[in-house]
Amino acid sequence: MPEIKLKHVVSCSTEDNTHKADNLLSSDTYRKWKAARPGEKQTSVIIQFEKEEQVYSIDIGNEGSAFIEVLVGHSTSVKDQDYEVLLLTSSFMSPMESRNGTNINRVRFFGPNQLVKAHAQEKWDRVKIVCSQPYNKSIAYGVAFVKFHSPPDKSDPPTTTTPKLTKLGQFRVKDESPSACPSLQPGSLFFNRESTSKASPALKVFSTALLFKYVFLMAAVKRKFEFTKERQTALAPPPSKKPSPMGSPERGTTTPKPKVKPSTAISPAQKTPDTKKKESLSKPEAKPRPKPSKAQSSSSEATVPLNKIMEGVVFVLSGFQNPFRGDLRDKALAMGAKYRSDWTPGATHLICAFSNTPKYSQVKSAGGVIVRKEWVLDCHKRKQKISFKRYLMDGAESSSEGSDIEEDEESEEEKERRVRKERKGVKEEDPFGGSTDENTDAEAEEDKPIPELPDFLTGKRFFLYGKFPNNDRRLLLRYIIAFNGEVEDYMSEKVQFVVTSEGWHDSFEDALMENGNLSFVKPTWIFAINDRQKMLPYQPYTVVP
């Protein structure tokens, strides 16, 4: 591919006194172009071609730049809008390499597949190189070298050799002469000897015989390999056969099995494994029927209609906000439960989000059952009646502790109690009588004020990225919201902290380009704040490449 010749530098935004932009015009020596001062926000240089050329590929040697972009235009281009993007912004240094000052001279080659196809097919006579380094403000950056290549000429014969390249930037290309490594092909040795020297007819016959012998030996070796492979396949042991039920060694016999009469007895020594297995299947032993356990009884009762799964359950919600509060209540009501806005003697379950609410203390002191929201969600998802005991908050069963009565029995007892009240003329409360706002629960009492949660994360916005092990994602949401932080559903410019447990990802570099104030932290930072109950610096918990 012919190299496009550079004519002169049209303009540049900044240049060092020693490492000027004109250094990019010379391709045989390593003379770089750098900015005049460290910490430049962006640098650019415009170079004029000798004539309009179609750019086929680009070779770029870096000099401390994190990102480099190449644009093309014409001599009439004056404004930035007149230039078109030929090479999209490409990364030459990672954030860690930029901060440490390592790998500042990375070389990258961009072929036709990496250029913008629509602009690579046109001809241009000017090129604009834009460099940036947002991660390190203490270094002066730029470009070590740049080369542009035009498409290969199709009219040239295929045997023409490309110009010999001795240097590529700061790297010297190894000189490999044809004499140092001659190309060898099968049979070329014999033909070279025959063509370079005038041999006698006897010598020609001898060379031809050697050639045929060589071909014959190669064919024999190949045949021997195939024969060995076929022999190994033929000598391989046949697949193991199952023993015949009648003990017959013949294969493929279709003799019907004689039916064993009930009075016929077979000794244990004569029984084969298959015979024992079939006898065990055909003659089930008369075992005493075990009593169904609690788990079995609960599973057998799980096949009930959806609107009767939580029949007899009177629940109260605490610590939830709309719209999730309304969704949770609707699911419980759809399964036959009844709702109360506050804890009353007729209530059976308190579905609580946190263990530090006043209603939690009230119900716990009253001996009520306190469960987590997962009880309702799992029952609705599986369409089954699941015991609430595995969802008890803090493992306390309160009034049901020490009792072996199942949940359905407690529900029957509550049902009978309400029937007696109805017969006596006692009207139940309207389950929808209370307010449906977010703060419908009367969380405060005169002697029990609402405790104030710490606001360690006030003004901080988070985004949870990727997957988290076990139950970490739920805990992170709980702690961030409890400490007055905000969690964004999507990655936006408002996000300040990205919490991830998967380590550094390549997409984080693109995110930093859009928002330079982002910080990538581990979940252990949020957990440490909760454990110590004080604000901690996030720097020891950052995620780095």
What CATH number is given to the structural domain containing 328?
3.40.50.10190
Among residues 339, 362, 391, the one where a domain terminates is: 391
pLDDT value at residue 20: 87
pLDDT of 447 above 80: no
pLDDT at 289: 54
- Based on the fold, state whether residues 41 and 123 are members of the same structural domain: yes
Q: Does any domain span residue 323? A: yes
Query: In the prediction, which pLDDT does 200 show?
Result: 54
| Residue matched to tokens 């029937």 | 419
The tokens describing 60, both together, are: 């770029």
Neighbours of 33 (CB within 10 A): 27
368 and 506 fall within a common domain: no
SS (H, E, C) 264-332: CCCCHHHCCHHHHHHHHHHCCCCCCCCCCCHHHHHHHCCCCCHHHCCCCCEEEEECCCCCHHHHHHHHH
Handedness of CA 477, 483, 484, 488 (dihedral sign): negative
Structural domain total, the chain: 3
On whether both 471 and 381 belong to a single domain, the answer is no
Q: Do residues 312 and 280 make contact, with C-beta atoms less than 8 angstroms apart?
A: no
Q: Around 152, how many Cα atoms within 13 Å sit in the side-chain half-sphere?
A: 11
Let me know whether 385 and 465 are in one domain. Answer: no
Determine how β-strand 107-110 pairs with β-strand 57-63.
Answer: antiparallel
Interior/surface letters 88-121, b for 16+ CB within 10 angstroms, e for the rest: eebbbbbbebbeeeeebbbeeebeeeebeeebbe
Which of residues 311 and 174 earns the better pLDDT score?
Answer: 311
Contact 34/111 with Cβ under 8 angstroms?
A: no
Which pLDDT tens digit goes with each residue over 111-126? 999 999 888 889 998 9
| Burial class (CB within 10 angstroms; exposed 0-12, middle 13-18, buried 19+) of 389 | middle
Given a cut of 80, whether residue 222 has pLDDT beyond it is: no
Same domain, 465 and 385: no
Domain coverage including residue 342: 306-391
Residue 499 or residue 168, greater confidence: 499
Q: Is the pLDDT of residue 330 over 70?
A: yes
- Please, what is the end-to-end C-alpha distance for the chain in angstroms? 37
Does residue 11 sit in the same domain as residue 109?
A: yes
Q: Are residues 11 and 116 in the same domain?
A: yes
Q: 46 near 6, Cβ under 8 Å?
A: no
Q: What was the pLDDT predicted at 284? A: 47
Q: How far is CA 421 from CA 4, 255, 333, 358, 425, in A?
A: 97, 77, 22, 29, 6
Q: What pLDDT does residue 398 have?
A: 41
* Residue 278, pLDDT score: 46
In this prediction, residue 128 has a pLDDT band, given cuts at 50, 70 and 90, of very high
403 domain residue, yes or no = no
What's the CA gap between 370 and 349, in Å, rounded?
Answer: 6
Does 110 share its domain with 14?
Answer: yes
pLDDT digit string, tens, across residues 475-520: 999 999 999 999 998 788 889 999 999 888 888 888 888 888 889 9
High-pLDDT (> 90) share of the chain, %: 28
Last residue of a domain, one of 100, 119, 149: 149
Least confident of 28-37, 261-270, 392-401, 500-509: 261-270
pLDDT exceeds 80 at position 82: no
The residue type found at 7 is K
Same domain, 379 and 471: no
Residue 408: CB atoms within 10 A of its CB come to: 16
Within-domain flag for 90: yes
* Position 518 in a domain: yes
Average pLDDT over residues 164-189: 56
- Position 369 pLDDT exceeds 70: yes
In the three-class reduction of DSSP (H, G, I as helix; E, B as strand; rest coil), residue 464 is classed as strand
Q: Which residues contact 532 (CB under 8 A, 6 or more apart)?
A: none
Question: Domain with 123 in it: what CATH number?
Answer: 2.60.120.260
Among candidate residues 370, 391, 412, the one where a domain is terminated: 391
Amino acid identity of 13?
S
Which tens digit of pLDDT belongs to each residue from 279-295? 444 444 444 455 544 44
293 is a domain residue: no
Same domain, 138 and 20: yes
Those residues with Cβ within 8 angstroms of residue 75's Cβ, 6 or more apart along the chain or in another chain: 48, 125, 126
Q: Is residue 538 part of a domain?
A: no
Q: Let me know if residue 127 belongs to a domain.
A: yes
**DSSP count for the chain of H helices, then E strands:** 13, 19
Whether the predicted pLDDT of 209 surpasses 80? no
CA–CA distance, 355 with 55 (Å, rounded to integer):
67
Residue 22 lies in a domain: yes
Q: Do 490 and 375 share a structural domain? A: no
* Domain identity same for 358 and 487: no
Please give the Cα distance from 333 to 313 (Å, whole number). 10
**CB count in 10 Å sphere of residue 165:** 10
